[in-house]
Structure 1
Amino acid sequence: MLSSLPPSLLLLLLSLSSLPPSTLTLAFDLYTTLPDQLVLSATATATSTATTTASVSSPTSVLSGLTLPEFATDLPTSVNWAVWESAEALVDPERGNKLLSVQMKGNWLGYSVEMSVANQVLGPYSNEIRAPFLNFLQNLRSRTQSGARVRVGGNSQEGSYMYDVDGLPARADGKATTSFLQKEDETEAINPTNTPSVLYTRDMVYAMSNISALVNTEWMFGIAFVNNTVENWANPFEVAQFVESYLGDNLMGLQLANEPDLYADRRRDADYTWDTWQSEMQEFFTDVTVADPDLPQTKNWYLPNVCCNWFPSDLLSNLTILDTFANEMKALSWQHYPHDNCENSAGEGQTVLAEYHSHALATNTIAGDLNYQVYNNMAIQRGLEVTMAETNTASCSGYAGVSDAFISALWTLDWSFTLASINFTSAYLHVGGRNAYYNPFTAVQTNLSATSHWTAGPTYYTTLVMAEAFGSTNTSQVVDISPAYDATVASTEQLVNNNFPAYAIYENNVPTKLAFINFVSNIGVSDYDAVINIGGITEGTTRTTPTEVYVRYLRANSTLEMYDIRWAGQTASPNGAASSDGILSGDVETFTVPCDTTALTCTVKVYAPSLALVFLTKEALDASSGVVLATQPADSTATDVTTFPTTYDAQGQGSATVADAALETSNGRGGVGTVVGGTTSKGGTLFTSSGESVIGGASGLVAWGAVVLGMGWLTAGGAL
């Protein structure tokens, strides 16, 4: 029997073999820490995020306080959507003559965590991982069968410095260090987004490795670049080597520099240009190779990470950086927001609200000087990935009333599909501090005794929808099927383009899903029927419209709704703000829609406002429906998703705290029933905060004391 177990589970069982027989169990118990004792809190059961039967409260509807824009009154009530029957037909210049994206992975959309709040989101130490964060990630993993992507970086990475685990300098205020990270303020003149510099220990990387061991997370890590001398680059060299060594296969790559196009007159002289940056980059790569010949991977860098003042044509004219850094670049990396709110002007959200109710904001953002597609294709042809490493609704925390309302979910979905359609192979929604409006999720203040008080933002649902849209085959290709837009022509086509954008997703050459967005917030008035037919568009071809399709909706009663939002009937905020533990509540709703077998069409209602994700086959639905392929005994029939509960004994008071001052807003630019995620790679080892290996090590078999989830303990004593 033991010989049939997966290696990671076998290692776990062997590592627990020295425990008393009564504790050798695969129950998942949570404890809360008290000064001199451990109090049993709850025993969790594995719960499927796809089919949970937990009751869901209806959170009181809370609108953002803005006034809805005016919507067109002559919108069509029915729109015909003709979809090419194959990817080959779609791109055939004699037939569809459309541009289809390259293949996308299911975990296409991830999170960009500002480094200065990493302790707030991940947990304060490697043995105190935040359980809600694990659940938020696990929900994505269950849909894509691959770990969620997370970037740790942002503006605060530029002033970051790594220390040994116990090596942080004493705090200026004399208080004790309460996590693997502490901050130093920078003036706004130097730091355009007023994010603090970060001093962190190796324990932050251990925490990342532990999270990967639990939920298979893949990481991008930000490296400080602003100090342009070999001496000042010594710590970044050390960080690069250390992060690569310990994260192993769970490291997607290293991001060198954050928005260097904003260095001028801030972190550098006013005449700092991209030519200067390129020279410094060449010097860095020469120095790192000499200073650290043991760097595990040299072709592992994300460049150029610009956002605002340098355009793709500047950096890629004559393929400059693609050729110059051909031996170093793993990905062509951009950062961009459609609007800059770093001035935080009062009432600005109302001013721009109407723009977010339009497909034009996404399509206009990628046009003009940016023109990403041309340069993305150059990178793709050279075997590089292309990422939007940081984005969201607007820079510097977003807009109140917009970025924290349902419209932000619909717009970031439109933005995500648009980016994928022009060959961005990944993107990351930024996560800032507790007061950021655009956060997909906001961490609880960590000196509270419970950890179910996180807030799920509207853009969290964006990541759920994208995970299901791209699914688990890693072959999804996207095309925008909205009518061509011409602002100078008033027509039904233009109304459809602006208000009802649509996308087709192909897998293995055939269409498998369609995504329809309705931006209009006139509930019950501006619904429309999407009439779908597959194939038969050109003479001599046959319709392949199915007999039935399956539909899931992302819905709210208004685009200004903040909390009462449902994806496929489920919510991450069962009781509104500060009520989430990351586990979805409610039964999954999937609507089976019969098709007209005579007319060979399928008619799907697209509610106002909503997104409708239409699965054209049962196989496509099943491939996106949310079961983690957990490591478990070969004879097990369990198919449930492991979640990480956060219910605590009423008498418990968590002793691990983070001072309020350490949780101030900090944002990037603006402008286990079963063992899950185990791996035998370098990144698959659990670490304690002292850096000691818990699974693995020299012998590969070291039992651990505890890994904390939220403010509870994941222990070997009756727990996994």
Structure 2
Amino acid sequence: MNLRALALLSGVSYAIAQVTVYGELPLGQTQSFAEWQTTTVRAAYNSTQLQVPALPVEAITNAFTMQLAKDAAVVSGLSIPHVGAGFFGFSIEMSVINQVLGKNSSFINVPFLNLMANIAERAGQVVVRLGGNTQEYAVLVDGDDPRLEVGHSYGKVESASTGTTLTPATMFTLEMLYTCRKISDMIDLKWFLGIPFNDSVDWRLAIVEYGEEILGDDLLGLQAGNEPDFYVQFGRRAPGYTAYDYFNEVGDLINVMAPNDRIPRKNILIAPSTSGKVWQAETVWETGFLDAYQDHMYGITVEYYPWDNCAAMYTGIEANIRDPQEILNYYVDHNNAIALVSPYHNTGNLAIQVRKPLMMFETNTASCGGFPGISNSYVAAIWGLDYGLQMAQSNFTHAMIHVGGQNVFYNPFTAPPTEEAAFNQWTVGPIFYSALIMAEVFGKSNTSRTIDLQANMGSGSTPAYAIYENDQISKVALFNFLSDPTGANDLSVALTVDGGVPASVNVKYLLAASITELNDITWAGQTFGNSKQADGRLRGDLNVTNVPCDQASNICRVYVPAPGFALVFFNDGDEALRVSQASQTFATTAWLKGHNTATFDLQAIQTSNGHGGAQRDDKSGTSVGFRKKGAAVGARKLGWGGMLALVGGVVGVWFGMDGI
């Protein structure tokens, strides 16, 4: 079947936009324009579209053959089995918890529940990390603390953090943990929390004690320090702080936890969460960290972003402004995904030796909010799949896609601005499709293993992976990073299997009109909707393409459009083949008309991994009052507008207060 016809049936247009930039930021421009005017559009809703990259000078091989082993026993280099929870989880900066999870345990955001239910439907479970730089100064306060907005489970005040980031101190209440508890009662969702690490003498262990008490086994791990290699730069430690100092501090933490009866599980620490920009993980391993502490650890964590957009996003940082158009090609070259993951091969092997999961604890397209036209376009979805599969092959067990506020481009999901909540819904970013699809790639069998097939003579434009379940070939993932509406660069991939192909295979496609397309992204014919249209549920009919195979020639020929991603199913009984909208969804019965963010410090998390906003003229929310150089300016802080009951509303769901 011609996939371009399939795309048309799915509502996808293959016309290339001739306008290079029609958004609010100049970061993607490729020609001279008049002076840009500041607008009130926030980064999460920016509509900058980049030019489609030029096709390679040397034409790719459009038709090629891949020989697949039927039995995993004869395949060298397969990953470890991937157990539960899909692969991608979500890292939610503590500064935006109210925006994402909901105001409190009685008012939880329904779109978030629906999105997580869709992952759990495919993977059986979801993993979420609450933390980031804002966890380091976190302190437990009473729910009636006057510094908190009424009904909110946390807030922020100025901290002692200095340097390039002025990270706020997070005030959290037990209500934050009860909110997590309620969510886990409805969805099989597990949590990671962070231990405050700014004071290694008087440890604040309330989040550990109450986390274990309230969340129980739904609390998987506790992060011991976030990016300790940045501590000197951020003013959290004195100059001269080394990996040996961090080693000693973790030892002190373990000693303090040991006699505490309120911490029954002593073996759920996760570390070292290095950024890879100052220390590599090996810098910590050289201290003897794993030998000394492996019995106290749940898992090993690292954090990394391939790029940063800090210079463009923050006033006062003039050097190294990057033009997204110039680096777009980075995201459509498979060789870069290989190079991105290769520094962790040694740590992956060490993780296997000590029998601990290795997690990329925070990542996305670029730190400081990502890039317009890249982080919010189809390229992020297809790149995320390549990056995820490359990590999975290198024995990572999970990767956490970072979530910021409305002032970032890279969010997998974003709540609407409060002033628009009456008529707009959530925005699901392209990289959420990566998470959804990866959950289908590995499924629920807990036996899935993957390998990079080095397809098409190692072409950077057309990678492919094989997935084995129960030691048999299960799926093949095919990529086409090229963008060409003529059809001249569509792929025809001949799959052959030792022992013979089945009578037919089934294929699901991730499609968009071009690699830089912002809208109308579909997975197997379904979509969450475009900007401000999502309630967390998939729309449209499931569209799975059945491809007859030539058993006499031992060939199943699969087409992949340019651009496109195809997941080929060899097993007609695969549960993921027919999974669509989650069987359990959540209806909205109440709507919050009020401010959906907590207060924020003047600057936050500028040059670190992650993003939390900066250069505010008041203590406003994550987006409100936000000022960016040559970019969007948020609307002024809104006052509370009260509660409005609205059946079929958008943002929250009402629950009783029992158990609180």
Q: TM-score range by the shorter chain?
A: 0.7 to 0.9
Residue 439 of structure 1 pairs with residue 403 of structure 2 = no
Question: Which position in structure 2 is the counterpart of 1:549?
Answer: 505
Change (3 A) 1:278 1:69: same
Question: Which position in structure 1 is the counterpart of 2:89?
Answer: 110
Question: Which position in structure 2 is the counterpart of 1:165?
Answer: 143
Residue 82 of structure 1 pairs with residue 67 of structure 2 = yes
Change (3 A) 1:518 1:659: closer
Where 1:326 maps in the other structure, the secondary structure is helix
Amino acid at match of 1:528: L
Contact 1:511 1:616 in 2 (8 A): yes
Question: Which position in structure 2 is the counterpart of 1:46?
Answer: none
Question: Which position in structure 2 is the counterpart of 1:563?
Answer: 519
Amino acid at match of 1:182: G
Residue 616 of structure 1 pairs with residue 567 of structure 2 = no
**Aligned equivalents of 1:612, 1:663: Cα separation in 2:** 44
Where 1:325 maps in the other structure, the secondary structure is helix
Amino acid at match of 1:170: R
Where 2:104 maps in the other structure, the secondary structure is coil
Question: Which position in structure 2 is the counterpart of 1:315?
Answer: 284
Change (3 A) 1:412 1:164: same
Select between 63-72 and 508-517 the one with higher mean Cα deviation.
63-72
Where 1:124 maps in the other structure, the secondary structure is strand
Residue 324 of structure 1 pairs with residue 308 of structure 2 = no
Change (3 A) 1:460 1:659: closer
For 1:295-374, list aligned pairs within 5 A.
295-307=263-275, 308-317=277-286, 320-344=288-312, 346-367=321-342, 370=343, 372-374=344-346
- Residues 301-325 of structure 1: CA distance to partner in whole angstroms, max 9, x if unpaired? 111011121112222238x211110
Where 1:619 maps in the other structure, the secondary structure is coil
1:480 counterpart (444, 452, 460): 452
Change (3 A) 1:57 1:579: farther
Please report how far the alpha carbon of residue 493 of structure 1 lies from its aligned counterpart in structure 2 after TM superposition.
Answer: 1.9
Question: Which position in structure 2 is the counterpart of 1:376?
Answer: 348
1:588 counterpart (515, 522, 542): 542
Unpaired runs of at least 5, structure 1? 1-54, 92-97, 484-491, 536-542, 629-639, 672-707
- Residues 606-649 of structure 1: CA distance to partner in whole angstroms, max 9, x if unpaired? 111111000011122x2453379xxxxxxxxxxx712123377x
For 1:27-42, list aligned pairs within 5 A.
none
- Residues 363-407 of structure 1: CA distance to partner in whole angstroms, max 9, x if unpaired? 11123xx2x122212222222111111111111111111111110
**Aligned equivalents of 2:420, 2:517: Cα separation in 1:** 27
Contact 2:426 2:532 in 1 (8 A): yes
Question: Which position in structure 1 is the counterpart of 2:104?
Answer: 125
**Aligned equivalents of 1:482, 1:157: Cα separation in 2:** 40
- Residues 172-196 of structure 1: CA distance to partner in whole angstroms, max 9, x if unpaired? xxxx43511112245884463x543
Where 1:66 maps in the other structure, the secondary structure is coil
For 1:630-669, list aligned pairs within 5 A.
641-646=583-588, 654=592, 657-658=595-596
Residue 222 of structure 1 pairs with residue 194 of structure 2 = yes
**Aligned equivalents of 2:482, 2:81: Cα separation in 1:** 31
**Aligned equivalents of 1:578, 1:663: Cα separation in 2:** 27
Please report how far the alpha carbon of residue 666 of structure 1 lies from its aligned counterpart in structure 2 after TM superposition.
Answer: 6.5
Where 1:159 maps in the other structure, the secondary structure is coil
Contact 1:101 1:479 in 2 (8 A): no
Please report how far the alpha carbon of residue 557 of structure 1 lies from its aligned counterpart in structure 2 after TM superposition.
Answer: 0.5
Question: Which position in structure 2 is the counterpart of 1:527?
Answer: 490
Change (3 A) 1:148 1:474: same
Question: Which position in structure 2 is the counterpart of 1:281?
Answer: 250
Unpaired runs of at least 5, structure 2? 1-8, 23-46, 313-319, 610-648
- Residues 210-266 of structure 1: CA distance to partner in whole angstroms, max 9, x if unpaired? 01111121111112112121x2x1x2x121011011111211111111100100142
Contact 1:432 1:668 in 2 (8 A): no
**Aligned equivalents of 2:213, 2:449: Cα separation in 1:** 33
Contact 2:94 2:132 in 1 (8 A): yes
Change (3 A) 1:191 1:198: farther
1:257 counterpart (203, 219, 225): 225
For 1:222-241, list aligned pairs within 5 A.
222-229=194-201, 231=202, 233=203, 235=204, 237-241=205-209
Contact 1:569 1:589 in 2 (8 A): yes
State which structure, 1 or 2, has the greater radius of gyration over its C-alpha atoms. 1
TM-score (norm 1): 0.75
Contact 2:161 2:236 in 1 (8 A): no
Where 2:103 maps in the other structure, the secondary structure is coil
Question: Which position in structure 2 is the counterpart of 1:514?
Answer: 476
**Aligned equivalents of 1:663, 1:422: Cα separation in 2:** 39
Contact 1:114 1:668 in 2 (8 A): no
**Aligned equivalents of 1:416, 1:212: Cα separation in 2:** 25
- Residues 687-715 of structure 1: CA distance to partner in whole angstroms, max 9, x if unpaired? xxxxxxxxxxxxxxxxxxxxx99334246
Where 1:506 maps in the other structure, the secondary structure is strand
**Aligned equivalents of 1:472, 1:517: Cα separation in 2:** 23
Contact 1:397 1:670 in 2 (8 A): no
Question: Which position in structure 2 is the counterpart of 1:687?
Answer: none
- Residues 551-610 of structure 1: CA distance to partner in whole angstroms, max 9, x if unpaired? 00001011111121001111111xx21111111100011000000111111000011111
2:114 counterpart (126, 135, 138): 135
Question: Which position in structure 1 is the counterpart of 2:652?
Answer: 711
Contact 1:570 1:588 in 2 (8 A): yes
Contact 2:99 2:597 in 1 (8 A): no
Question: Which position in structure 1 is the counterpart of 2:50?
Answer: 66
Change (3 A) 1:342 1:133: same
Change (3 A) 1:509 1:155: same
**Aligned equivalents of 1:264, 1:665: Cα separation in 2:** 18
Change (3 A) 1:465 1:659: closer
Change (3 A) 1:572 1:668: farther
Q: Over aligned residue pairs, what C-alpha RMSD do you find?
A: 2.7
For 1:459-478, list aligned pairs within 5 A.
459-478=431-450
Change (3 A) 1:374 1:654: closer
**Aligned equivalents of 1:170, 1:382: Cα separation in 2:** 44
Change (3 A) 1:356 1:187: farther
Residue 150 of structure 1 pairs with residue 135 of structure 2 = no
**Aligned equivalents of 1:451, 1:303: Cα separation in 2:** 43
**Aligned equivalents of 1:224, 1:310: Cα separation in 2:** 20
Amino acid at match of 1:153: G
**Aligned equivalents of 1:666, 1:507: Cα separation in 2:** 44
For 1:420-435, list aligned pairs within 5 A.
420-435=392-407
Please report how far the alpha carbon of residue 342 of structure 1 lies from its aligned counterpart in structure 2 after TM superposition.
Answer: 2.3
Contact 1:183 1:199 in 2 (8 A): yes
Please report how far the alpha carbon of residue 169 of structure 1 lies from its aligned counterpart in structure 2 after TM superposition.
Answer: 4.4
